[in-house]
Amino acid sequence: MEEHARRDAHHGLEVRTPMRVEIDGSHHGASVSRLLDRMRTSAFQGRKLGEAFDVWRRMIDGQSLICLGLAGSISSAGMWPLVAWLIERGYVDLVASTSANVTEDLLEQRGASFHRVDPEHVDDEQLWQQRLYRFYDHVVSAVEYDRMEDATAGFFEDLAGRWKEPAIPGALFMREFGRWLDGRGWGGAIAATCARHGVPLFVPAAPDGPLAEGYRTAARKGPVVDFFQDYEIAIRIMDRFMVPGRGTSAIFLGGGVPKDFIQITATSVCAIRGSADASAHSAAIQITTDNTVFGGLGGASVATECISWGKESPAGMNVMVFADLTIALPMLCQGLLEHYGAAHVRAAREAIRADVAALLG
């Protein structure tokens, strides 16, 4: 019997197993997956990371709509290829993101490089003089960053010439943005990957990022982006899946507006149905460094506080991981790759994508 399945006969509790290095030829090539499985019976945040790996696999093996929230400086830190990989394999069915994370991933695709610096000894005044923008421990050319912002002006001009209606929902706006990126050879971008695979991308605070500068410098503008219609679209999608046998689940990388956008749809669906019963997400994982004790949504635990709002189910598989995303996300993705294999695509993806496409319009 596996160590993680052992229970104390007297107390009926799972045994906390000590961590050891493992050399096992039968698991050759699957070391991270095996390590995460063993961490699940360890302690503290290592245990929580192992639990998150287990719950994410259950989501993938099930029929639920998997929603992904992206906050924090994920793209500048080089995590964007992992997000695109998750979308490609059907491990994510809906994305809500900050504006920066779906635009700053263009920098490296356009040929810009990020360079590491020592955050404890770097001279920020000197960086300003050298025209380098700093993201804690890495920098990028201010010229390249500004050029990336200006490049998005071409999208606004292109959309103004093609879109005949006076307004466009935000989700369709981002789909068109993704298609435009794909057509320009930047298909590795998160927005382009979402558009290619029929995954709706919601960016509720789109002007808070490089797209705002692109809009400012565009020679031709229009249509008006209707972000309130986005919420109606998201509720329709959630309502479709919040039924027995399917359900919705959520993975939050960071917190912020993306987390709230995905969570609050559960309470709205409940209000629409006129039911006192919460239409909560059946499973949720959050990976964050936000602290719960300061009252912000980013640190509000999906395993406790969020249940009081009806956003998560008290019977759900809810895991709160307090860890740096640059540590946790690569380990989880590598573990998923090893567990499922290089060619795996989620079995439920096509049926979910067809349902979502009908609701998205």
List residues with catalytic annotation: 311
Side-chain-side CA neighbours of residue 35 (13 Å): 18
Closest CA relative to residue 196, chosen from 209, 217, 181:
181
Residue type, 240: R
Side-chain-side CA neighbours of residue 102 (13 Å): 32
Examine residue 200 and say whether the peptide bond preceding it is cis (omega within 30 degrees of 0). Answer: no
Closest CA relative to residue 311, chosen from 282, 290, 285:
282
* Cβ–Cβ < 8 Å for 35, 334: no
State the DSSP code for 198.
T
One-character DSSP codes across 280-291:
-EEEEEEEE---
Closest CA relative to residue 222, chosen from 157, 126, 174, 301:
157
Alpha helix stretches (DSSP H) within the chain:
31-39, 44-61, 80-88, 106-109, 124-129, 142-151, 153-162, 170-183, 190-196, 210-217, 227-241, 256-273, 325-340, 349-360
Helix (H, G, I), strand (E, B) or coil at 82: helix
Taken in order 227, 233, 235, 238, is the CA torsion positive or negative?
A: negative
Q: How far is CA 80 from the centre of its chain?
A: 10
Helix (H, G, I), strand (E, B) or coil at 318: strand
Phi, psi of 251, rounded to the nearest 5 degrees: -125, 120
* Cβ–Cβ < 8 Å for 248, 352: no
User: Measured between alpha carbons, how far is 4 from 277 in angstroms, rounded to an integer?
Assistant: 35
Taken in order 239, 241, 245, 250, is the CA torsion positive or negative?
A: negative
Residue type, 70: L
